[in-house]
Amino acid sequence: MKLSALLLALVGSIAAFSATADLSMTGRSTVVAMGMQGNGQEGVWLHDQQIRRDLIDRGKAYSHLYDLKKNEIAVIDHSQRLATVYMMAALNEQTDAKVSSKDLKLDVKATGRSHPLQKWKCAEYSLNATMPAEVGGEKVSFTLTGNVWLARDTPEQKEVAAFITAAQTPDFFMGIPALAKSSPTQARSMSEIVRRMAPMGLLCAVDVKTKYEGTGRMAALSNKLDSRISLTYQQYGSAPLKPEVFDIPKGYRVERK
């Protein structure tokens, strides 16, 4: 899995912090992978235990559908009219069940700073996370270091209870399907970050540097070239969403993994 694709997928995992009912959010993301930068558009739609994330990456449109009632993740490639559906339970088997607290080191601290997003007050937190990973056959540590902005005590947050409850079930997986096979511990760690941070508030923005640490070639290359992910939501709305927002488009080919 290419690092640029990995970082875009990590944006999606982090965006899931925003889970609530009947909430629409749009914004922009920037991914810098090994010194090369890509900019994309972002959209997230949420209802109860269903989440849809749309993104445009290098001119191609993708959608990720998370259904926490069915415990399914559908990854849609609109250019190929293809939807690949993964069962969360199967992904958890690949990632060897839960990541223990010793496997994932996560430190989140309030900085005292904030910025507004429409009516929300988005508090800034420093974020430092370290997790085991494997890349190119090398066992390394994958780190996220930077800031995240979260909105607490908003009218929209009252509906987040259903998501937080679902996040505590054994089959919960909000990680990256493609990463579950290539680096299962890292995939499970990203899911665990979502689980731990979901109760803290709704995501307004995130800006973190990423790095592989170790003694091998990939870790050495990672230290030489800048890699970071940035996601900023620019507006939100709470109009009721139609059920078809969370459906796979008609006429698309469906593959189940």
- Model confidence, pTM: 0.78
Tens digits of residue pLDDT in 42-56: 888 888 788 898 887
Q: Please report, for the chain, the start and end positions of each structural domain, with discontinuous segments joined by +.
A: 3-256
| Residue 119 pLDDT exceeds 70 | yes
Task: Single out the residue of 126, 146, 127, 149 nearest to residue 202, CA to CA.
Answer: 149
Listing DSSP states for 173-224 in one string gives --S-HHHHHHSHHHHHHHHHHHHHHGGG-EEEEEEEEEEEESSSHHHHHHHH
β 50-57/36-47 pair status: antiparallel
129 is written with which tokens?
A: 């996370």
| Residue 226 pLDDT exceeds 80 | no
Between 6 and 216, where is the model more confident? 216
Class of domain 3-256: mainly beta
Give the length of the chain.
Answer: 257
Percentage with pLDDT > 70 across the chain: 70
Between 151 and 178, where is the model more confident? 151
Most confident of 7-11, 111-115, 235-239: 111-115
Q: How confident is the prediction for the chain on average, in pLDDT?
A: 78
| Residue 4 pLDDT exceeds 50 | no
